[in-house]
A and B are shown apart, each in its own frame.
Chain A
Amino acid sequence: MKAIIRNLTAGAALVGAMTAGITAASADTLKVAAISGYFSQGFGIAIVDGLKKAEKDFDVEVKIVDTGNRALDYEEQFNNIAKDGEYDLVFVMGWELVDALQKSNAAYPDQKFIFIDGILESETMTYIDFVEEEGSYLVGALTGQLTEKGVEGFNSGSQVGFIGGRDIPVIRNFLMGYEQGVDEQSEGVSVSSVFSGTFDDPAKGSELAMTLYGQGVDVIYQAAGPTGEGVLQAAKVADKYAVGVDIDQCPTAPGHILASMLKRADVAVYDVIKGEVDGSAPVKPGPVSYGVAAGGIEVKVCDEVKDKIPAEVMTKLEEVRAGIADGSISVTLNQ
């Protein structure tokens, strides 16, 4: 038995060596790995899009590793990626991976890890940090204006809604930006907010949304992952409006999604790779902010509802966007 295993492993090594010979491209090729359990969902898909675009435009080789959902596996998966120092950059997305990531970062200090969508304690990693409060401010400006002006479909009350997933700092950032946008860009409109406590329960999202709509709220901004899907569906059922998040969610319930607040993970990932490839911005430790100015955050008004929005509101929205981009409007987090 031992001999069999030895032979098999020898065979494996041989095959491994052969394929290494075949796939090893020129030394200049940048090898990039991305690891997450969410590549089949909205934000993860955006990351993959960015990687694919970079692969097409530059001399880059991309490896995508799905972690699945078993915490027992994470550490081994990070070590498998980092052990040979084969990859120049490793993108990581997902908070559940943080523990394993930090261990791997300590064990392989030379490996460049780029954590997407958040900042951790370690000072040796790179962080892509989306300024979600800026986008949320824009959403607040849009919904606040529509409600203040009593545009058809937004005239049954003076409140706009917000449904968050779990009550965690990043979702608080969404809410604070949103509230600030509503306060500063409209008169007499207030935010009615609620946290569902979970990111994985569309039914609950739907239920909460129906309650808010029942209270005279016409539009709900949701930052709740799959729970938010339920909010979008409820908008259709109640014949009201909802605002999508992270990715373009307009097609989820066409005509009932007002806009989507996009966190352009594809732009961010592409930019980071571009900076590394052409040397204009080599990856270095610390946070990199992607806000409205950098194109990492934008609000896309859905095509289906564009003609219902008065031109003055659209103009105002563009003014606010420009204001955030040039710094004349600053969105603050009063934590």
Chain B
Amino acid sequence: MSADTTPTPVRSSWRMPNWLESILGQLIALGIAIIGGAILIILVGEDPILVFTTLLRGAFGNSERIAGSLLQATPIIIAGVAACIALRGGLFNIGVEGQLYMGGFAAAFVGFQFALPTGLHMLVALAAAVVAGGLWILIPAFFRARFGTNEVVSTILSNYVAILLTSYFTIDVFKRPGGWSETDPVATTAYLPQLFEFSRLNFGLFIGLALAIGFHLFLTRTSRGYDMNTMGANMKFAEYGGIAVKRNILVILLCSGAVGGLAGGVETLGVHHRFMEGFAPGFGFDGVIAALLANGSPIGVIFTALFFGALRAGSLLMEVETNASREVITVFQAIIILCVSAQILLRRRRDSSQGERRWKF
């Protein structure tokens, strides 16, 4: 009788919503990074307030600088979506860098080798980038799907091959006569349209935004997206539930690679209009980091990429106008990455202790 009325132990039932917790976590990370960065700047004998304000001015000071930040963010958004696609399917594509190089080269090749009408030329070149990126992940993807080979290792290794292979193409096969190691320029018919007169910012930004939003809708509005989420949450359960996991692994990785290739194509056709050695060092890895920080959310990637882009653009002015090296930003980023990944780990441990065993992506 009395057993029914025994009060349950009082436990706070309110928990911060996930999104709020996530944003709060990012802000704390940012705070720690600012403090860490400031200490570093003081150590090199510069005024942290001056450095940070210069950084902000370099990123947002006028419309030209804002465009510069967006320009820097564009490849990170696209590469970030590429990484997100794999993450949400419970997979890792650390080979975005390599796919980006291959895609960048393929787009340049179509751009300088063929003569096609304006617009069509660009579309064909972008398609070539997509195909090149997809092909570049084909082997790791096949081995992952068929034999369960660890895709982290195989995609990382494919990066080196891609970077060296494109170097070889650029230096020995398609080198523009006389001049630095770069290919012939891409025909103007294949250029991605520039948005403003005063900046190299181009249509690629919209491609990135469309990809991120499109992927978000796919995840939340379609049954295939639901399958993918299930795989991401628990691969074994997904298989048990009747999802064709092996086939999906192949498709997901191929899509991830294809978007990675597109990131390179956009960079070639939108910014450089040629392919050169050391084309976009680290952009693929930046994308992976942006995706991890955004916890695999494609909408989140837009924001982390914009943040990284602003940091990069700002750091260029900072380097010229203050005595702090641009590398301060690298340290700054590293601190944020450390903080956020620590939080993800803590949250995962807490969730599993409350009976919730899910892979938070």
Contacts and interface: CB of A to CB of B under 8 A. Distances in A.
Given A12-B54, A98-B180, A63 B279 contact: no
Overall SS of chain A's interface: helix
B303 interface: no
A207 interface: no
A99 to B, nearest CB: 8
A254 to B, nearest CB: 33
Nearest to A35: B320
Contact of B282 (A9, A70, A76): A70
B222 to A, nearest CB: 34
B56 A9 contact: yes
Interface in A256-281: none
Nearest to B74: A72
B296 interface: no
Contact of B320 (A8, A15, A81): A81
Interface residues of A, number: 32
B61 A69 contact: no
A166 interface: yes
Contacts of B180: 95-96, 98-99
Contacts of A8: 53, 56
Contact of B54 (A16, A70, A71, A169): A16
A284 B280 CA distance: 35
B184 interface: no
Interface in B47-74: 49-50, 53-54, 56-58, 60-61, 68, 71-72
A70 B56 contact: no
Contacts of B281: 69-70
Contacts of B57: 9, 12-13, 16
Task: Tell which of A9, A11, A12, A65 has the most Cβ of chain B within 10 Å.
Answer: A12
B71 to A, nearest CB: 7
Given A16-B57, A80-B316, A80-B320, A71 B50 contact: no
Contacts of B200: 75
Contacts, number: 82
Contacts of A68: 326
A77 B313 CA distance: 10
B21 interface: no
Interface string B71-98: 1100100000000000000000000000
Interface in A51-66: 63, 65-66
Nearest to A77: B316
B53 A96 contact: no
A63 B72 contact: no
Interface in A289-306: none
A187 interface: no
A311 interface: no
B50 A15 contact: yes
Interface stretch (B26-34, B235-243, B270-278): B270-278
A72 B320 contact: no
Contacts of B58: 80
Task: Tell which of B61, B277, B321 has the most Cβ of chain A within 10 Å.
Answer: B321
A73 interface: yes
A66 B321 contact: no
Nearest to A13: B57
Nearest to A166: B171
Contact of A69 (B56, B278, B316): B278
A5 interface: yes
Interface string B258-278: 000000000100011000111
A77 B272 contact: no
A19 interface: yes
A197 interface: yes
A72 B71 contact: yes
A306 B320 CA distance: 45
B351 interface: no
Given A69-B278, A166-B171, A76 B53 contact: no
A11 B319 contact: no
B144 interface: no
4 tightest CB-CB pairs across the interface, nearest first? A12-B53, A12-B57, A95-B180, A80-B320
20 contacts: A5-B56, A8-B56, A9-B57, A11-B53, A15-B49, A16-B50, A16-B53, A16-B54, A16-B57, A19-B50, A70-B280, A71-B280, A72-B272, A72-B280, A76-B313, A76-B316, A80-B316, A80-B321, A98-B180, A169-B178
Given A12-B56, A73-B312, A96-B276, 12 more contacts: A5-B56, A9-B53, A12-B57, A19-B50, A63-B320, A71-B279, A80-B316, A80-B317, A80-B320, A95-B179, A96-B278, A198-B171
